Amino acid sequence: MLASPLFGLWSNHRPRREPLAVSISILVAASVLYAYVHVPASHNKYYMLISRALVGFGSGNVAVVRSYVAGATSLSERTGAMANISAFQALGFILGPAFQACFTLIGEKGVTFQAIDLQLNMYTAPSLMGALLGIVNIILVFAIFREHRVDELGRQISNINYENEEHAAEINSEESVDQVAVVSSNILFFVILFCFAIFETIATPLTMDMYAWTRSQAVLYNGIILAAIGFESMVVFIGVKILSKITEERILLLGGLVIIWVGFFILLPWGNQFPKIQWTDIQNNTIYNSSYWLSNTADYSNHTVEPTGCPPVQSWCFYTPVIHLAQYLTSDILIGIGYPTCNVMSYTLYSKIIGPKPQGVYMGWLTAAGSIARTLGPIFVSQIYTHLGPRWTFGILCGIVAVSILHLSVIYKRLIAFSVRYGRV
C-alpha cells in the first residue's frame, strides 16, 4: 500500500529498471530473513513481522509493471497485453501452491543444516524458493528488459526523457482525466481484491472447521485447489482476450462481478447437517479409549495427536449447518472465473481512462487500493468468521458485491478511454 505509489512515482522519472531491481532485492532479503526467523534467541515474532512488511514493500513493483505495459501498448493492444501479464501471474498461482503442496512432503520438522543455521521444512522451503526466483528476476531485468513506449495509436515514441516525460504529456494533453472514473475504478478494484483476499484467507480455517482436515491436509488440499484455480484463470485470460474483441471491457467487468456474487452466494450454509465439533476427539479418547489416551498423553501434549473439527470456542459451530464440499468446490470454480475477469478488466479500463499521461503514480494508487483490500481481508476473516461464522461472512460479502454491481451500473458510461472521451479515437 505504501510502496506502490512511491515506486510508481520513481518509474515516472527514472528508468523502470531501477525500481524493479530495488524492489526485487527487497523481496529476496525479506524471504531470506523469513527463513532465519528462528535463529535469534528472542523477539522472533518481531523479525517475522519485519520480514512480512518487507515482502509487502517489495511487492509494490506491480505498479511499475502495469504502468510500463500501459505505456508500451496501443489502445487496441492493451487488453491482450494486460491479459498476458495477468496470465503469467496466474501461472504463479498455479506453480506456487503446487510447489507448496509438494513441500508438505518435507514435513514440519524437515532437515536442519547446522553449519548455516538453516531449517529446511514445509514452511521455509517456499520462502527460500522465492528468494532464488527473485535473484533470477534481477538478472533478467538487467539482461533482457528494455524501455519501450508508444502513443495510444501505437506509434513509437523515441528518445524517452524521464525528467521531462510527465511535463511533455501535460503539454500535449490539456484535457483532464475523469477523476470520478478514476476513484470509482479504485473502489471497484478494492472490492474485487477484498473478496479474493477473504476467499484465499478463509480457505484453510473453513476447510479445517467444515471437513475436520488436519493442518497438513488443509495446506495440501487447498494448495491443489488453488493450483487448479490458477490453471482455470489462465484459460479465462485466453477467453477474455478473445471476448474483448467482440464486446466491451465494461460488460466483461460487470459479468465478472455477477459471477463472483453467485460464487459467494453458493457458500451460504443450509440443511440439517452440522460440522464435527473438535472436542469429540478428546472426549472419545478420554472416555471410550482411556488406555490409548493415557499411553499417548505425552504425544498429545507435543501436538502429535491433532484435534480436528470445528473448535467449540466458535459458538456458531453448534448451530450453523456445514458447507458441503460440493458447495465449496463449485464456489472455487465460479470465483476462479469471476476474479481473473474482473482483475484484467480493472487494469485495462483504468489504464485507458488515464490516457497518455505517465501512469506510474496512478497505477500505484490502484495497487494501493488492492493492498488495502488484502490488509483488511484477513482482519475481516479473523473477526467476522471467527465470531459470527460463515453465514454472516458470506452474506456480508454478497451484500458488498451487490452494491459494487449497482455502483458499476451507475458510473458505467464514464468508464471509457481518455482518447474516446475527447474524440481523439
Query: For position 134, what pLDDT does the model report?
Result: 93
Query: For position 410, what pLDDT does the model report?
Result: 93
CATH of the domain spanning 175-275+310-425, picked from 1.10.3720.10, 3.40.50.970, 3.40.470.10, 1.20.1250.20? 1.20.1250.20
Q: String of b and e for 326-352 (b: at least 16 CB within 10 Å)? A: ebbeebbbbbbbbbbbbbbbbbbbbbb
CA 349 to chain centre: 19
Query: For position 39, what pLDDT does the model report?
Result: 82
Query: For position 158, what pLDDT does the model report?
Result: 61
Neighbours of 273 (CB within 10 A): 10
State which residues of the chain have pLDDT below 50: 162-164, 167-168, 171-174, 283-303
Query: For position 132, what pLDDT does the model report?
Result: 93
Query: For position 153, what pLDDT does the model report?
Result: 67
Q: pTM value?
A: 0.77
Domain boundaries, the chain: 1-72+107-146, 175-275+310-425
The per-residue pLDDT for range 75-88, each reduced to its tens digit, is 778 888 888 887 78
Question: Which residues make beta-bridge pairs with 112?
Answer: 119
Query: For position 160, what pLDDT does the model report?
Result: 54
Query: For position 300, what pLDDT does the model report?
Result: 42
Query: For position 171, what pLDDT does the model report?
Result: 44
The per-residue pLDDT for range 204-237, each reduced to its tens digit, is 899 999 998 888 888 888 888 887 888 888 888 8
Q: Are 399 and 260 in contact (CB under 8 A)?
A: no
Three-class SS state of 271: coil
